Structure formats: structure tokens, C-alpha cells
Structure 1
Amino acid sequence: MTRIVTRTYRLYPDKTMKIVLDQLCDYRRCCWNQALELWNDLYDDRRILPFYAYRFVPNKNGIKEEKINLKTMPNWRLVRNMMVEQKQDWQYQYSAHLLQLAVQDLGKAWQAFFDKSQARQGNPGFKSKKLPKQGFKSDQAKLKDGLLYLEKSREYKGEWHPIKFKGRILSDKFGVLSITRKNDKYYLSIPFKVEDAKPWPKSGKYTAVDVNVGHFNYTEGKQLVLPKSLTKSYKKIAFYQRMLAKKRTVNGLIKGTQSNRYAKARAKLQREYEKCANIQKDLMHKFTIKLVKDYDKIVIEELSVKDMLMSHAASKGVHRSMFGTFRQLLAYKCEWYGKELIVANKLYPSTQRCANCGFVKKGDEKITLQGNQKHGTKHNEYVCYKCRYKNDRDQNAVKNLYALIEHPELNKAA
């Protein structure tokens, strides 16, 4: 059995290839926008035109009447063929595969929009050149000796060089390459086809993870998600945001975005965001791989993140704690290495249930972010009003989640 493993590498193009990569990113965006406009026009035509039309086609026996369906559902092949017929001379300087891959991705986006089984997504929109992240795809590129060889059109008369990248290649078999530009840096994403990893040896240990804003609690301790090393970076982010807000307006008008100082401040802000993201991704990968390596069964809770974001005070901390990323990384690593992931029901009262006697707090006895005003308890302590059991609120939640391993019948709303 094979599986897809995607690796991202940093590209180091020379001045000539930087211009080429920028042009390819612009051409990809142009193809996407043109295809989306054509796709929308085809949808509008289906509402106006009649269902069928007839035309007369000559054959051996004379003239035959042929029926034509005028309300054909738009698809990526139809849109691609129409765009190829409307190609202009300057477009022949670029590979035809760039146009085809852009239209294919647009078709996948429309398919995901109409698929009711997937999470609700908006309809595909037009791409803006102001977006900080741009990119394109290539299915004809080659990799050799740490160099990337992109496909060159026959009509292109300029210089064309291979591009250096650093990193180990996992396999000679790979899919469509993705090249992205972000903060004036270029990255290469390669989906490799590799053999399934052998399951890690069983340790005979189980654990449960209770996710919180800023830290994750599990049976053997606590893992910080927002370490103190990020405090300085977040202060810089707030400072650069204030700078941009001041530079954005000139004499009461929004004209400052075109100045060089504004561009420099925005670049500094983007670098700080990227630095924070890299630190947290590295931390998440190390923590999830530790859990998968040390434990055979892992219990986590399913959170309603949208409901948590309704609180203005906690929304920033929830975003930075990366609950969704943690579950995504842990899910595929458990699948790869033969470990079991148990997800608690969204309504399972892990915080309100007593780990000692099973009593569930309800109504005005519940623990909130402000604690419990009726009994005068703090938000970080759990006191059972039935058996007088006392413990830290997070540790009590970990014990309740851990109980689902031996008692799966409890995995439901109280």
C-alpha cells in the first residue's frame, strides 16, 4: 500500500528565475479569473436559453435532424476548450498545462461547493494580485540533483535556468508540484507516493488530552501551546499593526498603502506572523509525534470552535491555540503508525463531570470562565458538591476523557 506524503522545500531562484516565477504566478491567476468569469456566464446562459435546439446535418441518406442540448452543465473540460479557442498570442509564451491545471482546480472548487457532505464552503471567488500568497502548479517539472527544472514553452525566447532547493527527496514518484510565493520567498510542495510506514511497537499505555487556550493537559503533564518565546513576537505584531494603521491614512484619505514605508512595515509584520506560525507548527509536530510514539490509545475532545469564537475575549487565544491543527496532525499520524484515536462527543461533559463519583454539574452549578458564583469557586478548580472531591479543573477533565477508554458507553451527552 502507498500513501501520499507532502513535503515543502524552500526555493532559491536567481534574479532571472524570480521574474519567471512571478510571471507564472500572474498567468495562473489570470487563467483562474478568466475561467471563473466564463463559468459564471455559462451558468447564466442556462437560465435564459431554451432546453433544446435542432439543426440539420447532411449524411448518406440525405439530411438528418439532430437535437442539441443547450443547457449543458458547465464543466472544466468545456471551459478549458473554450479558453483554448480564445487564446491570445502572448499566452503561447506559457505552458498549456498551466491553463489546464488552473481550470481543473476551479472545477474541484465548484464540486466541493455543491457537495453537501463536506463542510460548508463559499463559492469560488476571483483571485487578487494583492494577496500575500500567490502560486501555480506544474505536472511536467523534473527534479534532479537538488535542482528543479520547470517546463518551458517553445514560444518563450528568454533565459531559463534550473532552480536550487534544499532537502531530501522521499521518492522518485510524485504528483503535481505546487510553487508558491509568500513574503518574497518561494516554496516548492511535492506530494510523494511512498510505501506505508510500519506500525510502531505497542507501548501498552493510554492517555487523554484536554485542550485549553494556551496549554494542553494530558495524563503525564502539560504542554504549552503559547510559550513565552512568542510574547515578544506578539508585541512586535501589535506594534507593526499600529504603524500600518497610521501610515494607511494620509490627510484623512486612504492613500498611504502605495508608499514604500507602508510596504516595508507590512513586510516586517508578515515576517513576524510567519515566525510565530513556524514556532507553533514545530511545537505541534513534536507534541503529536510524542503522543503517537508513547501511547497506543489517545482520547481527545471534539470542540465547537465557532461557538468558542463568539466570545470576544477568548477568540484571539482560541485562534492562536490551533485546536484544529492539533486534531488534524494527530489524526493522520495515528492512522500512519497504527495507533487508535478516540474522539469524545461534543456534548460529553468532561469539564462538568466529577471524576470520582460521576456527578454532573448542571444549571447554576456549572463551572464557567468566571468560576461559579453560587459556591464561590474559581474557574481553574473543580469541587464536587456531592462527594466533596477537589481537583484542578483541567486534570479532572483529563480523567473524565481517560475513562472513555474503558467505558465507551459514557461517550454521549449527560
Structure 2
Amino acid sequence: MVYKLLLLYFINLESPVKRKQKALAKKQKGSRNREKARVQLARVHAQIVDVRKDFLHKLTTQIIRENQTIFVEDLAIKNMVKNHKLALAISDASWGELIRQLSYKCQWYGREFVKIDRWFPSSKRCGNCGHIVEKLPLNIREWECPKCGANHDRDINAAKNILAAGLAVSVCGGTVRPEQSKSVRAGAMKQKSNR
């Protein structure tokens, strides 16, 4: 809920940024008015950075104080930002900074911090029977398991799977790696035969 409010705040700050950038673009290069417009734009960007940092510090401190063990999924954020439809939302949410702050604050407060492997199929795995769906595009938010018939919300199911995998790592040690899919095995066999 609080995270959504922050995103709404950033959306409200988008229009002043656009306005200031447009004003800066219209100014003549090297003029004093251009310098003034550049400073005004920099102030808006600094305000956004300050609000984001303040929110992340408050959120991570609250999470650390309320929990003894933190489980996170190690996401390929740099690759996810390449999707132009999601890039702005992912950048505004600052997932990388959130995970970095959780990591060092866990060390400060003596909490356990566990990262789940990025290839673990948290969204595709049925939290009820363990069946892994072959393909699950991002636009599908709810899905039904073909094996047991359980209905899953994509995000809630992923959170339950990350919790289960994190508990397994916490108790047993080591890492949790997904079972190899047919395509990965086929790729591995192809490489062996070419040698």
C-alpha cells in the first residue's frame, strides 16, 4: 500500500520534470536563462532522489525490525529495465537499492538474509503440488495448475514459493536451484555433442 503511494508521488513529479526539461530544451545554449532552467531541473531531480532514499530507508528499517529472516529473489534488474514498458516503474521502485539496504541492515541488526537464485521458477511453480508450468507470460496474473487444479495469483504464489525456498536454504544450507527444464537439458546435450 505504502509502495503504491510512493509510485503515485513519483507519477505526480513526472509532470514538473517534463515541464522543466521542455523549458530547458527551448533555451539558447550558453545563455544565463538556460543555466537557470538547468538548475531548476536539477532541483526537481534532487527532490525525487531524496524522497526515494527516505522512503527506502524507512521501509527497509521497518522490514528489518519486524522480521528475523528476510528472503529475497535475486532478480536480473539490469535486464528487466531493458523492457521499455516496465523500465520506468522498475527504476522508480529502486529494487536494487532496496535489496542492497536490506542486505547491509540485516548485518547491522543480526538478521538472516537469504537470496533465492534468479532462475528459481517462483511464479511458474504451483505452490500446492510443485508442478512447473512451461510458459507463463507477464500479462497472465492468475493461472490454474493443470495438475492439481489450484487457482493461483501470480504474485502471491511467487511469494509463497520464495518463502518455502528461503526456509529450505535457511534450514539445509546451500542454494536452491530449479530443476532443469527440457530446453536447458537439450541445450546442454547439444554443447556436449559438438565437442
Q: Given the two structures, how large is their TM-score scaled by the length of structure 1?
A: 0.40
Counterpart for residue 116 of structure 2: 344
2:87 corresponds to: 315
* Of 153, 164, 170, the match for 1:403: 164
> For 2:2 and 2:133, how far apart are their aligned partners in 1?
25
Work out the CA distance in 1 between the residues paired with 2:153 and 2:35: 48
Deviation of the 1:323 alpha carbon: 1.2
Matched, 1:231 2:11: yes
Residue matched to 1:282: 54
Residues 398 and 226 (structure 1), Cα distance of their counterparts in 2 relative to 1, 3 Å cut: same
* Rounded Cα–Cα distance in structure 1 between residues aligned with 2:119 and 2:126: 15
1:321 & 1:312 partners in 2: Cα distance? 15
Q: Please, which of 369, 378, 381 is the counterpart of residue 142 of structure 2?
A: 381
- The one-letter amino acid paired with 2:161 is N
Unaligned runs of 5+ in 1: 1-220, 248-255, 372-379
User: Which one of the candidate residues 267, 290, 304 is aligned to 2:39?
Assistant: 267
Match of 2:178 in 1: 413
Which of 334, 338, 347 is the equivalent residue of 2:106? 334
Q: Which has the higher helix share?
A: 2
Offset at residue 347 of structure 1 (A)? 0.4
Greater relative contact order structure (CA < 8 Å, 6+ sep): 2
CA offset digits 1:99-122 (Å, max 9, x no partner)? xxxxxxxxxxxxxxxxxxxxxxxx
Q: Which residue of 2 aligns with 1:306?
A: 78
RMSD of equivalent CA atoms: 1.9
TM-score of the aligned structures, taking structure 2 as reference length: 0.82
Work out the CA distance in 1 between the residues paired with 2:146 and 2:5. Answer: 32
Distance change in 2, residues 1:369/1:406 (3 Å): closer
Residue of structure 2 in register with 1:46 after alignment: none
* Matches of 1:259 and 1:301, distance apart in 2: 49
**Structure 2: which amino acid aligns with 1:361?**
V
> Residues of 2 paired with 1:358 and 1:404: CA distance?
12
Deviation at residue 269 of structure 1 after TM alignment? 1.1
Is the contact between residue 225 and residue 321 of structure 1 (CA under 8 Å) also seen in structure 2? no
Larger strand fraction of residues: 1
Question: Are 1:367 and 2:136 an aligned pair?
Answer: yes
Structure 1 distance, partners of 2:75, 2:166, is 19
- Give yes or no for contact 2:71–2:113 (8 Å, CA) kept in 1: yes
Number of aligned pairs?
Answer: 175
- 1:393 equivalent to 2:154? Answer yes
Per-residue CA distance 1:63-106 (angstroms, 9 max, x = gap): xxxxxxxxxxxxxxxxxxxxxxxxxxxxxxxxxxxxxxxxxxxx
Identity of aligned residues (%): 30
1:297–1:339 Cα contact (<8 Å) kept = yes
Q: 1:387 to 1:405 in 2, by over 3 A?
A: same
Which structure has the larger Rg? Answer: 1
